């Protein structure tokens, strides 16, 4: 008889996000798993994003009964059942057949928002139709202004509720794992270049079967290039570089999109003020999950500066490193209205599609309720700075 510790890990036995990560690693080819899991350069910021949560400690109020814990919050005027949204994660269709639709459906079923990346493998109309919850469209300018404007118009017609403009990708980050795994070669569609890296795909027959049954498409149907059609995967790095977004672009984006604009990738008071000047309704404190400029501050540490600069005039969210419900509680205590989770659900998607995303959401939701009860706090809306201690060395005002 195997001891409980020796039983194989399955979705129903996954107790935390690290278990989902383990399952994703087992199902996905190395190149796909590392694309999700990896960060830029030495991965210092990637690690620090998660580690920094250990530096913030709770101040519980004990001997208080909290039979009900209210996790609801409002973001951009919509009531969400949970204080976390699913972050834009590009190329999710590589993780699981119809990946973006599966993740959006799971978000809607749980009563929260799904944010669709421009770099999506599924058509934005299909993703919007897959969820009963709010959906936001994350914009990259790949392909140039007229291609982006066509995307914005499609997002409007499809009924997306907000536009998220990501500002931290003037070029692709240096993801060394991707280079080693031959991601560029594997997406090149040149057989000879691909060949040395194919064995890692063959080692995951279950993934290959799913990928082929899903059409084996390696294109982005929401980036329609003139004379080309949907942009091929291979062109992302250079495409990002050709179209660096600047604050001036917000003028035409504002004219093209009448709904709320969310600026994602803010780490300083200066950028918070610029976003507000450009009419943003919300900002996301984000370093792209440590995938862009390595060595920038962990986002939890940057959050108080942005909250102070926003001064209640725009909603502040944050993402980066969140793997447990307690992490979400700490971010809310430091002033985030809600958080975005990226890898936490991407691991679930890679492990088991929509069921895996639902499991990730469930794990975080259960954590949240337990953490609130142990804190003696009945509602996420009551969380503030008084529930935590932060290190005295933080630039916290």
Ligand X SMILES: Cc1cc2nc3c(=O)[nH]c(=O)nc-3n(C[C@H](O)[C@H](O)[C@H](O)COP(=O)(O)O)c2cc1C
- By CB under 6 A, what part of segment 249-278 binds ligand X? 264
Among 45, 73, 112, 117, interactor with ligand X by CB under 6 A: 117
Q: Taking Cα atoms as reference points, which of 339, 120, 283 lies closest to residue 217?
A: 120
Among 45, 286, 297, 371, interactor with ligand X by CB under 6 A: 286
Q: Which long-range contacts (CB under 8 A, 24 or more apart) does 7-11 make?
A: 11/351, 11/352, 11/355, 11/356, 11/359
DSSP state of 290: G
Give the tokens for residue 369.
Answer: 């309720």
Among 20, 23, 32, 36, interactor with ligand X by CB under 6 A: 36
Minimum CB distance to ligand X smaller for 124 or for 377: 124
> CA distances (Å), 122 to each of 88, 138, 189, in order?
13, 14, 20
Q: Does residue 35 belong to the site contacting ligand X (CB under 6 A)?
A: yes
Q: Does residue 49 belong to the site contacting ligand X (CB under 6 A)?
A: yes
- The DSSP secondary structure of 159-199, one letter per residue, reads T--EEEEE-S-SS----HHHHHHTHHHHTTT-HHHHGGGTH
Q: What angle do CA 210, 212, 216 make, to 5 degrees?
A: 115
Report the Cα–Cα distance between both ends of the chain, in Å, rounded: 57
Minimum CB distance to ligand X smaller for 73 or for 286: 286
Q: Does residue 88 belong to the site contacting ligand X (CB under 6 A)?
A: yes
CB of 299 to ligand X, least distance (A): 8
Between CA 33 and CA 36 the distance in angstroms is 5
Q: Which residues are catalytic?
A: 288
Give the tokens for residue 350.
Answer: 């890679």
Q: Does residue 119 belong to the site contacting ligand X (CB under 6 A)?
A: yes
Q: In sequence order, what are the beta bridge partners of 74?
A: 79
- Cβ atoms of 52 and 301 closer than 8 Å: yes
Q: Where are the alpha helices (DSSP H) in 77-140?
A: 99-110, 124-130
CB of 60 to ligand X, least distance (A): 26
SS3 296: coil
SS3 219: strand
CB of 53 to ligand X, least distance (A): 11
Among the listed ranges 10-18, 85-93, 308-316, 381-389, the one in contact with ligand X (CB under 6 A) is 85-93
- Helix 30-37 vs helix 17-27: angle between axes, to the nearest 10 degrees? 150
Minimum CB distance to ligand X smaller for 328 or for 358: 328
Between CA 163 and CA 155 the distance in angstroms is 9
SS3 240: helix
Q: Is the dihedral of CA 354, 332, 45, 374 positive or negative?
A: negative
Q: Does residue 320 belong to the site contacting ligand X (CB under 6 A)?
A: yes
Q: Does residue 84 belong to the site contacting ligand X (CB under 6 A)?
A: no
Q: Does residue 341 belong to the site contacting ligand X (CB under 6 A)?
A: yes
Minimum CB distance to ligand X smaller for 83 or for 342: 342
Q: Does residue 288 belong to the site contacting ligand X (CB under 6 A)?
A: yes
Total of chain residues touching ligand X, rule CB under 6 A: 26
Q: Does residue 138 belong to the site contacting ligand X (CB under 6 A)?
A: yes
Q: Does residue 96 belong to the site contacting ligand X (CB under 6 A)?
A: no
Among the listed ranges 74-82, 105-113, 222-230, 341-349, the one in contact with ligand X (CB under 6 A) is 341-349
Q: Does residue 330 belong to the site contacting ligand X (CB under 6 A)?
A: no
Among the listed ranges 225-233, 268-276, 303-311, 342-350, the one in contact with ligand X (CB under 6 A) is 342-350
- By CB under 6 A, what part of segment 203-232 binds ligand X? none
- By CB under 6 A, what part of segment 291-310 binds ligand X? 291
Site of interaction with ligand X (CB under 6 A): 35-36, 49, 87-90, 117, 119, 138, 166, 264, 286, 288-289, 291, 319-322, 340-344, 346
């Amino acid at each position: 008889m195997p001891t409980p510790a020796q039983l194989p890990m399955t979705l129903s036995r996954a107790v935390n996000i690290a278990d989902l990560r383990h399952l994703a690693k087992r199902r996905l080819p190395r190149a796909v798993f590392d694309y999700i899991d990896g960060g830029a350069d030495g991965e210092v910021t990637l690690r620090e994003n998660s580690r920094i949560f250990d530096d913030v400690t709770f101040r519980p109020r004990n001997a208080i009964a909290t039979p009900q814990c209210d996790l609801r919050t409002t973001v951009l005027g919509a009531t969400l059942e949970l204080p976390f949204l699913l972050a834009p994660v590009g190329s999710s269709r590589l993780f699981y057949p119809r990946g973006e639709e599966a993740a959006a459906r799971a978000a809607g079923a749980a009563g929260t928002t799904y944010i669709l990346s421009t770099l999506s493998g599924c058509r934005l109309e299909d993703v919007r139709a897959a969820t009963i919850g709010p959906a936001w469209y994350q914009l990259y300018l790949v392909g140039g202004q007229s291609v982006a404007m066509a995307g914005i118009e499609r997002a409007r017609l499809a009924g997306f509720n907000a536009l998220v403009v990501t500002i931290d990708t003037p070029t692709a980050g240096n993801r060394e794992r991707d280079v080693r795994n031959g991601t560029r070669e594997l997406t090149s569609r040149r057989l000879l270049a691909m060949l040395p890296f194919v064995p890692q795909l063959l080692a995951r027959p279950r993934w290959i079967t799913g990928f082929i049954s899903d059409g084996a498409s390696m294109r982005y149907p929401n980036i329609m290039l003139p004379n080309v059609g949907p942009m091929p995967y291979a062109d992302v790095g250079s495409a990002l570089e050709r179209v660096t977004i600047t604050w001036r672009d917000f003028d035409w984006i504002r004219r093209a999109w009448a709904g709320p604009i969310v600026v994602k990738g803010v780490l300083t008071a200066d950028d918070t003020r610029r976003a507000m000047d450009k009419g943003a309704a919300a900002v996301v404190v984000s370093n792209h999950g440590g995938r862009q400029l390595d060595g920038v501050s962990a986002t939890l540490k940057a959050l108080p500066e942005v909250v102070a600069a926003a001064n209640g005039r725009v909603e502040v969210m944050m993402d980066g490193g969140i793997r447990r419900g307690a992490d979400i509680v700490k971010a809310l205590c430091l002033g985030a209205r809600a958080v975005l989770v990226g890898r936490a659900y991407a691991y679930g998607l890679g492990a088991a599609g929509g069921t895996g995303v639902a499991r990730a959401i469930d794990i975080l939701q259960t954590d949240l309720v337990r953490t609130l009860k142990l804190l003696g706090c009945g509602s996420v809306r009551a969380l503030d700075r008084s529930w935590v201690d932060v290190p005295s060395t933080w630039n916290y005002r």
